[in-house]
């Protein structure tokens, strides 16, 4: 059996499409665990309607406690051999879970992971940061051999053996940007991982209703939450796999740290104080040889950050066009 955990909070505009994609999966034995995290809109009504017409859907409820708590609630209730997570505003292609499970049955790996597309009303588009991560199928690989997997930090493009999830006592903790520390630990502690080049998940760009947290990346509180994720994930990597410090730090210095510094285009230093403090604490721990190998613009920014030279950073970011980490091409 595959257990699919669907955390739900105020996604009534998208939930039916999500659940329709899950009940349409080409696998025989499935349970879909919808966890209503105290929704104030019509999400619960929609979930209950699906549960009435399809016995594979069951609905749990909790007081609003956040995405991490909702996912943990669903994982504890899961009964399947396999475990997956799908956010309530996203869509899973019809053959995705069958591909995951077929790969895991053949390989014996602890989990599988696959390619992702962004989706909105205009269609689908690649996620540039994943291009080389999922360029080809890899069976029984590992993040230490395929280090591009340091960029594979989301939970919803994966299927886990539930025995692996529970034996490692994996759980989400952070109130936002919660995936990365858990997924890096899963990658490192797995005995083997399957990588699928197939597109297994459609990650929605919301065009109506409340924007998702990743669509509010420029807000000071969200930048601070993102920097907390960067630091916590670094702690996992330095504690478990020092050989991954360089690829992870390189990705962060070119991506999420740059996003925090770009926030100076929109906000003053006081508003960004927490985000910048966390970013600086991270860069101070990055090996000097990595900073020296960055492109010149990134290298100057990191050195200014370590020295606390915010005026110089503001001048540099104002001179450069703003792109988010999700839009940038990774280092090759």
Residue range 1-48, pLDDT digits in tens: 999 999 999 999 999 999 999 999 989 899 999 999 999 999 999 999
- Checking if the pLDDT of 212 tops 60, the result is no
- Checking if the pLDDT of 324 tops 90, the result is no
> Strand pairing partners for 163?
none
Q: pLDDT for 251-309, tens place per residue?
A: 999 999 999 999 999 899 999 999 999 999 999 999 999 999 999 999 999 999 999 99
| pLDDT at position 217 | 60
Residue 79 vs residue 324, higher pLDDT: 79
Residue 198 and residue 261: Cα distance in Å, rounded? 34
Nearest to 195 by CA among 252, 143, 122: 143
Q: Please give the class, per CATH, of domain 2-204.
A: alpha beta
- Structure-token pair, residue 135: 């360029």
- Checking if the pLDDT of 328 tops 70, the result is no
Cβ atoms 156, 72 nearer than 8 A: no
| pLDDT at position 210 | 57
| pLDDT at position 329 | 46
- % of the chain residues with pLDDT over 90: 87
> Strand pairing partners for 115?
199
- Mean pLDDT, rounded, for 217-234: 92
Strands 123-126 and 2-8: unpaired
Band the pLDDT of 207: cuts 50, 70, 90: confident
Q: pLDDT for 97-152, tens place per residue?
A: 999 999 999 999 999 999 999 998 898 999 888 989 999 999 999 999 999 999 99
| pLDDT at position 321 | 65
Residue 261 and residue 182: Cα distance in Å, rounded? 25
- Checking if the pLDDT of 326 tops 70, the result is no
Strands 193-204 and 158-161: unpaired
Helix 220-240 with 273-283: angle, nearest 10 deg:
20
User: Phi/psi of residue 28, each to 5°?
Assistant: -80, -40
Q: Which residues touch 86 (CB under 8 Å, ≥6 apart)?
A: 4, 5, 6, 18, 22, 92, 156, 201
- Structure-token pair, residue 20: 């329709």
Length of the chain, please?
A: 332
């Amino acid at each position: 059996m595959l257990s699919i955990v669907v955390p739900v909070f105020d996604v009534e505009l998208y939930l039916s499409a999500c659940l329709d994609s899950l009940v349409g999966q080409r696998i025989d034995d499935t349970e879909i665990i919808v966890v209503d995290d105290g929704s104030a809109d019509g999400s619960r009504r929609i979930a209950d309607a699906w549960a009435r017409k399809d016995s594979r859907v069951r609905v749990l409820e909790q007081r609003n406690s956040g995405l991490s708590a909702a996912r943990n609630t669903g994982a504890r209730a899961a009964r399947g051999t396999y475990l997956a997570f799908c956010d309530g505003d996203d869509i899973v292609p019809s053959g995705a879970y069958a591909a995951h499970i077929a790969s895991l049955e053949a390989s014996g790996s602890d989990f599988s992971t696959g390619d992702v597309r962004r989706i909105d009303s205009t269609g689908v588009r690649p996620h540039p940061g994943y291009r080389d991560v999922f360029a080809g199928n890899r069976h029984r690989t590992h993040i230490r051999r395929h280090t591009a997997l340091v960029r594979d930090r989301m939970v919803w493009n994966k299927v886990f053996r539930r025995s692996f999830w529970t034996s490692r006592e994996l759980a989400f903790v952070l109130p936002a940007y919660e995936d990365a520390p858990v997924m890096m630990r899963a990658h490192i502690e797995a005995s083997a991982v399957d990588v699928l080049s197939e597109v297994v998940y459609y990650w929605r760009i919301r065009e109506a209703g409340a924007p998702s947290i990743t669509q509010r990346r420029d807000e000071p509180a969200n930048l601070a939450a993102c920097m907390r994720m960067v630091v916590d994930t670094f702690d996992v990597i330095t504690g478990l796999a020092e050989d991954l410090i360089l690829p992870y730090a390189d990705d962060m210095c070119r991506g999420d740290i740059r996003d925090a510094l770009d926030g100076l285009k929109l906000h003053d230093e006081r508003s960004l104080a927490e985000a910048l403090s966390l970013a600086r604490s991270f860069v101070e721990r990055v090996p000097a040889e990595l900073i020296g190998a960055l492109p010149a613009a990134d290298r100057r920014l990191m050195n200014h950050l370590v020295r606390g030279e915010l005026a110089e950073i503001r001048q540099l970011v104002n001179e450069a066009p703003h792109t988010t980490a999700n839009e940038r091409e990774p280092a090759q």
